[in-house]
Structure 1
Amino acid sequence: MNDAITMGILWHLVGAASAACFYAPFKKVKNWSWETMWSVGGIVSWIVLPWLVSAILLPHFWAYYSSFSLSTLLPVFLFGAMWGIGNINYGLTMRYLGMSMGIGIAIGITLIVGTLMTPILNGKFEVLIGTEGGRMTLAGVLVAVIGVAIVTRAGQLKERKMGIKAEDFNLKKGLLLAVMCGIFSAGMSFAMDAAKPMHEAAAALGIDPLYTALPSYVIIMGGGAVVNLGFCFVRLAKVKDLSVKADFSLAKPLIITNVLLSMLGGLMWYLQFFFYAWGHARIPAQYDYMSWMLHMSFYVLCGGLVGLVLKEWNNAGRRPVGVLSVGCVVIIIAANIVGLGMAQ
């Protein structure tokens, strides 16, 4: 495995770690509705930071975006909106299936769909099955799915031991939402593939390869922002128990604290894809769709490790922790298999 691929995998790990930790600041927000908190964080992560970073990187901001036709930008935006729908379904999946089962099914599906559908749609599936490196990376995807399944099982054992149940368990509804979440969340992988002309144009401007994907986030995350913020604003306007006015009528110090915590959560959320771009830049072009597999499997890995650090597994007993450890090791093995395959 060469140094570039190794660094690509490590940057994906850093991005996934940020993804696994981003909700920690949100948990400390007090007396705010989820919709207000999510909107404040989302404005930072989906609008402010992508625009700010792109404005810093691009020598001529508006000229760059106006150089693309609608036929180039629209698929990028729509795939971003597709990913935004997956984000909303993610929360509902947790409600009806619980954290462990919901995460396991949703992440497992989006890992498979987001990784394999890109080469299939581009007519490059023969790269996976017709070359030694391709077959090895495909084996890595399979091992990653097994690792996700093992970590999911550990979470189920933990929830059973600690008496944790889904907020409103409904197997049929939860499975439907998990499948939808898994499919729609893969929109980010599709958006990155559709945005390749934008990446190439950024590279032509002399932007460092590590940063060429970042200007496309203005369009990708713009699509996600329309869906997520639209959902939150409609909820705030229609649901009687929710009110922005009430959320901002709290004591001023608490409002400031809530805003800062929500902004920090938004920053950490954005950083997952900032480093995703760094990792993506180090992956060989013929295997760039493997970025999604690395990101999602590392997200599950880091989620488990963060839970251990925060002592969320202390009362779960030895068996769930043991199963979790096995699952984490399997995901690490999967990443190494994929890395060796890409180096072929």
Structure 2
Amino acid sequence: MSEAIVSGIMWHLVGAASAACFYAPFKKVRNWSWETMWSVGGIMSWILLPWAVSAILLPNFWAYYSSFSLSQLMPVFLFGAMWGIGNINYGLTMRYLGMSMGIGIAIGITLVVGTLMTPLIQGRFVELFSSAGGRMTLLGVLVALVGVAIVSRAGLLKERAMGITAEEFNLKKGLVLAVLCGIFSAGMSFAMDAARPMHEAAAALGIDPLYVALPSYVVIMGGGALVNLGFCFIRLATQANLSVKADFSVVKSVLIANVALSLLGGTMWYLQFFFYAWGHARIPAQYDFVSWMLHMSFYVLCGGLVGLILKEWNNVGRKPVGVLSVGCFVIILAANIVGMGMVS
């Protein structure tokens, strides 16, 4: 396996690790509504950091974006908004199905849709079956899906052992939301594909290949910000039990801590796609669609490993931990299969 491909896979792992950990700071926020916390973190991750990074990278910030037509930017923005809708549905899926079932269905669907729809739309899907490398890569995607299912099964066993149930369990509503989440969350994969002209323009300006995708995040995450912040602001304005004024009226020490923790969570959230761009840049162009599969499967892998490190699996018995270990091994195997497929 070439050094470039190995480094690409590893950077996807680093990005997924950041994604698996980003909510830890949010959990320490006190006396704030979820909407306020999510908005503060989101402003950092969807607006401030993408703009700041792009301003540093680009020789002329405004000239770069004005060089694209509205017809070029709009699909990138709309796919970003699509991905933003998936984010909202993700939280609701956890609410009605619980973490394990919700993650298993939502991540499984978005892994398949986000990975395979791109070559299908581009008319490259059939070509993948005509080469040994293509077939092996597709096998890796299938193995990754199996790994996600096994890790989700381990999580379900853990929840049962600990007596954890969904906040408002509703199978029918939860399944609908999980399917919608899986489909809409794949918007990030579609957005990255639609942003190729932006990546090529950044490369033409002499930007390092590792960073060429980052300027497109201003547009992609702008779409996600519109949906997420719009959702939060509408709820803060219309729900009688929510109040921005009350959230920011907490004692000064709590206020400072809440803002700092929310900004840290937002930064960690952004870093998942910062390193996603690095990984994506190292994957061969004909197999760039597997970036999404690597990110999502590693996200599940890292989520399980972080849970073990934080001792969340203590006292649940040997079976859940054993199943988790098998699932993690299968995901690692899938990444190796995909890597071997890309060099075949």
Q: TM-score, normalised by structure 2?
A: 1.00
Q: Amino acid of the residue matched to residue 203 of structure 2?
A: A
Which residue number in structure 2 is paired with residue 177 of structure 1? 177
* 1:290-335 alpha-carbon deviations (Å, 9 max, x no partner): 0000000000000000000000000211000000000000000000
**Aligned runs of 1:281-300 on 2, under 5 Å?**
281-300=281-300
Q: Amino acid of the residue matched to residue 95 of structure 1?
A: R
Q: Amino acid of the residue matched to residue 123 of structure 1?
A: G
Q: Report the alpha carbon displacement of residue 146 of structure 1 after superposing the two structures with TM.
A: 0.3
| 1:249 partner SS | coil
Q: Report the alpha carbon displacement of residue 128 of structure 1 after superposing the two structures with TM.
A: 1.8
* 1:51-73 alpha-carbon deviations (Å, 9 max, x no partner): 00000000000000000001100
**Aligned runs of 1:17-32 on 2, under 5 Å?**
17-32=17-32
Which residue number in structure 2 is paired with residue 303 of structure 1? 303
Distance 1:131 1:28 in 2: 50
Which residue number in structure 1 is paired with residue 131 of structure 2? 131
Q: Report the alpha carbon displacement of residue 127 of structure 1 after superposing the two structures with TM.
A: 3.0
| 1:292 partner SS | helix
Distance 2:286 2:141 in 1: 16
Distance 2:121 2:318 in 1: 44
**Aligned runs of 1:150-161 on 2, under 5 Å?**
150-161=150-161
| 2:140 partner SS | helix
Q: Report the alpha carbon displacement of residue 175 of structure 1 after superposing the two structures with TM.
A: 0.3
**Aligned runs of 1:57-72 on 2, under 5 Å?**
57-72=57-72
* 1:262-300 alpha-carbon deviations (Å, 9 max, x no partner): 000000000000000000000000000100000000000
Distance 2:241 2:309 in 1: 35
| 1:133 partner SS | helix
Q: Report the alpha carbon displacement of residue 83 of structure 1 after superposing the two structures with TM.
A: 0.1
Q: Amino acid of the residue matched to residue 340 of structure 1?
A: M
Which residue number in structure 2 is paired with residue 97 of structure 1? 97
Q: Report the alpha carbon displacement of residue 253 of structure 1 after superposing the two structures with TM.
A: 1.1
Which residue number in structure 2 is paired with residue 333 of structure 1? 333
Q: Amino acid of the residue matched to residue 244 of structure 1?
A: V
Distance 2:73 2:131 in 1: 33
Q: Report the alpha carbon displacement of residue 130 of structure 1 after superposing the two structures with TM.
A: 1.3
Distance 2:128 2:144 in 1: 16
Distance 1:316 1:211 in 2: 43
Distance 1:10 1:4 in 2: 10
Q: Report the alpha carbon displacement of residue 209 of structure 1 after superposing the two structures with TM.
A: 0.1
Distance 1:285 1:271 in 2: 23
Distance 1:257 1:74 in 2: 38
Which residue number in structure 2 is paired with residue 39 of structure 1? 39
Distance 1:81 1:164 in 2: 33
Q: Report the alpha carbon displacement of residue 126 of structure 1 after superposing the two structures with TM.
A: 2.3
Q: Give identity over the alignment, percent.
A: 82
* 1:92-137 alpha-carbon deviations (Å, 9 max, x no partner): 0000000000000000000000000000001111232111111000
Which residue number in structure 2 is paired with residue 143 of structure 1? 143
| 2:106 partner SS | helix
Distance 1:155 1:191 in 2: 31
Question: Runs in 1 of length 4+ with deviation above 2 angstroms?
Answer: none
Q: Amino acid of the residue matched to residue 303 of structure 2?
A: G
Q: TM-score, normalised by structure 1?
A: 1.00
Distance 1:53 1:89 in 2: 28
Which residue number in structure 1 is paired with residue 76 of structure 2? 76
Distance 1:225 1:159 in 2: 32
The gaps in structure 2 that reach 5 residues or longer are none
Whether 1:9 aligns to 2:13 is no
Which residue number in structure 2 is paired with residue 189 of structure 1? 189
Distance 1:222 1:276 in 2: 17
Q: Amino acid of the residue matched to residue 188 of structure 1?
A: M
Distance 2:72 2:232 in 1: 28
Distance 1:71 1:120 in 2: 22
* 1:232-274 alpha-carbon deviations (Å, 9 max, x no partner): 0000000000000000000011101000000000000000000
Distance 1:65 1:324 in 2: 45
| 1:164 partner SS | coil
Which residue number in structure 2 is paired with residue 235 of structure 1? 235
Q: Amino acid of the residue matched to residue 160 of structure 2?
A: R
Q: Amino acid of the residue matched to residue 196 of structure 1?
A: R
Q: Amino acid of the residue matched to residue 76 of structure 1?
A: V
Distance 1:275 1:130 in 2: 31
| 1:166 partner SS | coil
Distance 1:281 1:160 in 2: 41
Distance 2:125 2:75 in 1: 21
Task: State the Cα RMSD in Å.
Answer: 0.4
Distance 2:244 2:300 in 1: 33
Distance 1:185 1:206 in 2: 31
Which residue number in structure 2 is paired with residue 266 of structure 1? 266
| 2:249 partner SS | coil
Distance 2:283 2:8 in 1: 6
